Homo-oligomer: A and B are copies of this chain.
Amino acid sequence: MQNDEFKIIEVKDRILEDNDSVANAVRSRMREKGVFLVNLMASPGAGKTTLLARTIRELKDIYRIGVMEADVDSDVDARTVAEAGAKVIQLHTGGSCHMDAEMTRKGLEEMGVDDLDLVFLENIGNLVCPAEFDVGADKRVMLLSVPEGDDKPLKYPLMFQVSDVLLVTKTDTAPVFAFDFERLRANVDRQRARTNQASGRLPILPLSARTGEGFDAWIDWLRTEVDAR
């Protein structure tokens, strides 16, 4: 299936005992090609697409950017990021609530990465299952929106344990929500202390993709990581 702007590919969830070995192969292959792969994860409606669209607009003159939009259905987000100036492919997961390494490998192959420096996988909106699957990304970036609340690390521990950076989005709406950044910090630290999967203290970057507040810190973090690839 294809339209003018981007391909739409059906990817199916398979029970793979060797997800981690496929993930490692994806990571090696992308490093050989000089492509930095980001796995972007969050709840439905946390602002992944809005973040991506602004990130693409700010960085498209510096990096060649690709986006794999994973969705159970529809292609609304793919249109938005294509308009922002990225190479885009839409992945339909056929009901699966997460992406795994093989689905990611197939998506990268279908999109083609030879003309790219930076690729984002916009994972399915879900705080549970995507955290369980290494897709072969260099970094896992998690979004938590202010409206969701500062208690979420208590209820979805694995996502906060495996992520490499946490972007707290929609900070422009903070006046109408009771969101406490110190409590979030304490909840995150407490969950990461419970596991050996966490890679040290989680950087927490508050931002608004609508107003641009705090966005520079995210762009700096990302550029540092991509340039070290």
Q: Which of A144-195 contact B (CB under 8 A)?
A: 145, 147-149, 151-152, 154-158, 170, 172-173, 175-177
A203 contacts partner chain B, Cβ-Cβ < 8 Å: no
A128 contacts partner chain B, Cβ-Cβ < 8 Å: yes
B129 and A129 form a contact (CB under 8 A): yes
Q: Which of A35-54 contact B (CB under 8 A)?
A: 43-45
Taking the closest CB of chain B, its distance from the CB of A100, in whole angstroms, is: 14
* Contact status of A147 and B127, CB under 8 A, knowing A72-B155, A74-B155, A154-B74: no
Give the chain B neighbours of A155 by CB distance below 8 A.
44, 71-74, 76-77, 125
* Residue from B72, B147, B176 within 8 A of A157 (CB atoms): B72
Taking the closest CB of chain B, its distance from the CB of A207, in whole angstroms, is: 16
B124 and A128 form a contact (CB under 8 A): yes
Give the chain B neighbours of A125 by CB distance below 8 A.
43, 127-128, 155-156
Q: In the docked arrangement, what's the CA distance between A158 and B156, Å?
A: 23
Residue of chain B at shortest CB distance from A176: B173
Q: Which of A128-149 contact B (CB under 8 A)?
A: 128-129, 132, 145, 147-149
Give the chain B neighbours of A173 by CB distance below 8 A.
147, 173, 176-177
> What residues make up the interface of A, taking CB atoms closer than 8 Å to B?
43-45, 71-74, 76-77, 95, 97, 124-129, 132, 145, 147-149, 151-152, 154-158, 170, 172-173, 175-177
The 7 nearest A-B residue pairs measured at CB: A45-B148, A147-B147, A97-B128, A74-B154, A43-B44, A173-B176, A97-B129
